[in-house]
């Protein structure tokens, strides 16, 4: 594998959006609204305070990506970087691309004293991803994640699971 990692730029938005749409369907059976997903990706590039994307590129082609958003920890007086929207193209899985992205993220954080750690959430049944995260040194926390969406928020077209 000869992949290199870089911060994504706005011209990467179409492939990142395609990755997000594929990930939602593969992991949750949800068909994202393509226009909303595209707008969401573009918004992150337009407003860097929301976060950033990293991409892994091989021979000029983006083959994996992840998004980072931040959470302020008043207990630590620093930020957690939340890893979200992780996607590795199907034909490139199990080749260490997420590990490569994660190590690049670690290197970025090492240079930023305002970052205290990393967090992510994973589907309960996604054992492969959980195994990967543990192998990289991440630990399962004692926290559960809860959410409530505002009435009328529609971000997908089909939800066979009823969630």
Band of residue 21 on the pLDDT scale cut at 50, 70, 90: very high
Task: Flag whether pLDDT at 159 surpasses 70.
Answer: no
**Is residue 70 in some structural domain?**
yes
The closest of 158, 122, 155, 159 to 38, measured between CA atoms, is 155
**Is residue 163 in some structural domain?**
no
Instruction: CATH number of the domain at 136, please.
Output: 3.40.630.30
**Is residue 118 in some structural domain?**
yes
Residue ranges of the alpha helices (H) in the chain? 13-28, 34-46, 97-110, 127-135
Query: 88, 63 in Cβ contact below 8 A?
Result: yes
What average pLDDT does the chain have? 91
Q: How many domains does the chain have?
A: 1
| Reported pTM | 0.88
Query: 45, 10 in Cβ contact below 8 A?
Result: yes
Q: How far, in Å, CA of 78 to CA of 134, rounded?
A: 23
44-69 average pLDDT score: 96
Q: Which domain holds residue 67?
A: 4-158
What Cα–Cα distance (Å) separates residue 125 from each residue in 29, 130, 146?
13, 9, 17
The residue ranking higher by pLDDT, 100 or 124, is 100
Strands 61-73 and 52-58: antiparallel
3-class SS of residue 91: helix
The model's pLDDT over 104-134, given as tens digits with 9 standing for 90+, comes to: 999 999 999 999 999 998 888 889 889 989 9
């Amino acid at each position: 594998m000869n992949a290199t990692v870089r911060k994504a730029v706005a011209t990467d938005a179409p492939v990142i959006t395609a990755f997000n749409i594929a990930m939602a369907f593969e992991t949750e059976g949800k068909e994202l609204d393509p226009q909303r997903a595209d707008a969401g990706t573009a918004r992150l590039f337009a407003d860097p305070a929301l976060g950033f994307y990293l991409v892994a590129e091989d021979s000029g082609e983006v083959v994996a990506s992840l998004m980072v958003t931040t959470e302020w920890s008043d207990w630590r007086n620093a930020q957690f970087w939340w890893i979200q929207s992780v996607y590795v193209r199907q034909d490139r899985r199990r080749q260490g691309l997420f590990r490569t992205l994660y190590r690049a993220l670690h290197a970025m954080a090492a240079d930023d004293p305002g970052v205290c750690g990393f967090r992510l959430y994973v589907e309960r049944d996604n054992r492969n991803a959980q195994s990967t995260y543990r192998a990289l040194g991440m630990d399962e926390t004692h926290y559960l994640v809860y959410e409530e969406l505002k009435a009328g928020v529609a971000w997908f077209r089909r939800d066979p699971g009823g969630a």
